[in-house]
Amino acid sequence: MNKSSNTYWHAATITRPDRQKLNGHSSAILWFTGLSGSGKSTLAHAVEEELYRRKCRTTVLDGDNVRHGLCGDLGFSEDDRTENIRRIGQVATLFVDAGMIVLTAFISPFRIDRQRVRMMVEEESDFIEVFCDCPLEVCEQRDVKGLYQRARKGEISDFTGISSPYETPANADLIVKTAGRSVEECVADVISYLEDRGLIAKA
Amino acid sequence: MNKSSNTYWHAATITRPDRQKLNGHSSAILWFTGLSGSGKSTLAHAVEEELYRRKCRTTVLDGDNVRHGLCGDLGFSEDDRTENIRRIGQVATLFVDAGMIVLTAFISPFRIDRQRVRMMVEEESDFIEVFCDCPLEVCEQRDVKGLYQRARKGEISDFTGISSPYETPANADLIVKTAGRSVEECVADVISYLEDRGLIAKA
C-alpha cells in the first residue's frame, strides 16, 4: 500500500553510473543470510575490510546497528521481522543507488522476504544472496551471545532454528560454508565471486 | 520504545574516520528544510552536482524517492510525518557512518522532529540544518507541481503553509534565501559553508 500520492520523482542529475565511475566499481547488495551464529556479521565485516583495502566504497548493515535505530520500534514477531527486512531492503537500495557495495547481515529467515528485497532493486542481479551455510548444531555450539541456551530454556520466543523456522535459500547466488573453515577462506569465496562477476577489479 | 533486546553492537572494523580518509572529506547531513516550492530538492541536487565535480561521495534523500520506498506505508498526518522524519534521520545517520555527505530535502515542518534528528547523530555538528528561506507567496506563485492550487481548493489536506503549520528554524546552521536568486548563487552559499567548516577542501 502506498499512501503517498501527491509526490513526484525527481530525476537526480548525478546518476548511479556516475557514482560507479567515480568509485571504480559496481554497486550491489551482498545479502548474507543464515542462522544466528552462522558467521554472517563476522564475514560481512571481514569482506568489507578486504574491500576497503581495495579502495571500494562499502557499508555494513546488520541486525545489531539497524535494530537500535531505524527498526528500534520493531520486535521479533513474524510481522515485525517482515517489516524489518522490508525497511532494510529499501535502505540497501538507497545505498546501491549511491554507488556503494552494501553488505547486510540479517538472519532473514523467510524466503518470501528475501525475494521481496530482490524485487526492490533496479536489476535483479544487484541483489546477491549469500547463504552462510552452517549446521544448527555448530551454531548452537558456538552460541557467542548465549542466545541458543536462553532459547532452549524458553526465555526467548520466536528464536530462529529453535522455535521459529529458517527457510534455506533455494537459489542462493553464493553459498559459503562457514563450519570448520577460517574467516579468510570464507572471505576469499566472496571476493572471488565479486571479481568473477566483474563487480570489482581483480586484485 | 525499543523492543529489540537480545541484540549487541558489533564494533565495525572499518571506522568512519577510515572512510573519511579514503574519501578525502568529512561526512555530514545537510538537512534542507523549507516550504514546498522553496527550492530544497533543486538546491540539494545542484549542490550534489558541485560536490561530485570535487570527487566527494554524496547522496540525496528527498521526499519523493523515500516516500515511494522506505516510507511508502506512511501518509501526511502529523504522526506519519514524524515517523517519516525519524526514519529518514536514521537512514541519514547510516550514510554519515558510511563516510558520505547526505543531502536531505524534506519540508520537515516541525522543529521537534528536526531537533530529534540532530540528537541522532554522533556529534551535533554532523547535522547541518539549511533553511531554504522563501516567502509563502513566492512558493505559491511557483507552484511547480500545482499542489498549492489543489490545497487552496481543499483537495489536499494537511498541506504545509496552507492547512498545516511550518515552524521556521530558530537556529538554522545556514539560511539560504532562494527567492529572486539563481541556483548557482544558492549553491555557492552552501559550498562556502562546507569549505569554511573544513568539511571539504577549498576548490
What confidence category does residue B12 fall into, taking pLDDT thresholds of 50, 70 and 90? low
What confidence category does residue B144 fall into, taking pLDDT thresholds of 50, 70 and 90? confident
Nearest CA in chain B to A20: B57
Q: With CA atoms as reference, report the closest residue to B62 among B86, B31, B93.
A: B31
Within a domain: B169: yes
Within a domain: A155: no
Q: With CA atoms as reference, report the closest residue to A118 among A105, A127, A130, A109.
A: A127
Split into its structural domains, chain A has a count of 1
Beta strands in chain B (DSSP E): 28-33, 58-62, 101-105, 127-133, 174-177
Interface list for A 173-192 with B (CB within 8 A): none
Interface list for B 133-172 with A (CB within 8 A): 145, 147, 150, 156
Do the chains contact at B4 and A75, CB–CB below 8 Å? yes
Q: Is B71 on the interface with A (CB under 8 A)?
A: yes
Within a domain: B69: yes
Phi, psi of B177 (to 5 degrees): -80, 120
DSSP letter for A126, please. Answer: G
Which of A1, A52, A98 has its CB closest to that of B100? A98
pLDDT digits (tens, 9 = 90+) for B91-137: 999 999 999 999 999 999 999 999 999 999 988 899 999 999 999 99
Do the chains contact at A10 and B58, CB–CB below 8 Å? no
Within a domain: A5: no
Q: Residue A179: which CATH number?
A: 3.40.50.300
Q: What's the pLDDT score for residue A169?
A: 97
Q: Is A41 on the interface with B (CB under 8 A)?
A: yes
A164 assigned to active site: no
Within a domain: B130: yes
Do the chains contact at A65 and B9, CB–CB below 8 Å? yes
Nearest CA in chain A to B40: A10
Show the domain range for A174.
Answer: 18-133+165-196
Within a domain: B5: no
Q: Is B21 on the interface with A (CB under 8 A)?
A: no
Residue A188 vs residue A2, higher pLDDT: A188
Q: What's the pLDDT score for residue A75?
A: 86
**Rounded distance, CA B21 to CA B15, Å?**
10
pLDDT digits (tens, 9 = 90+) for A161-199: 999 999 999 999 999 999 999 999 999 999 999 999 999
Within a domain: A143: no
Cell of B101: 555527505
Residue B34 backbone class (left: φ over 0; alpha: ψ -120 to 50; beta: rest):
left
Within a domain: B142: yes
Which of B41, B64, B90 has its CB closest to that of A70? B90
- Does the pLDDT of residue A153 top 90, yes or no? yes
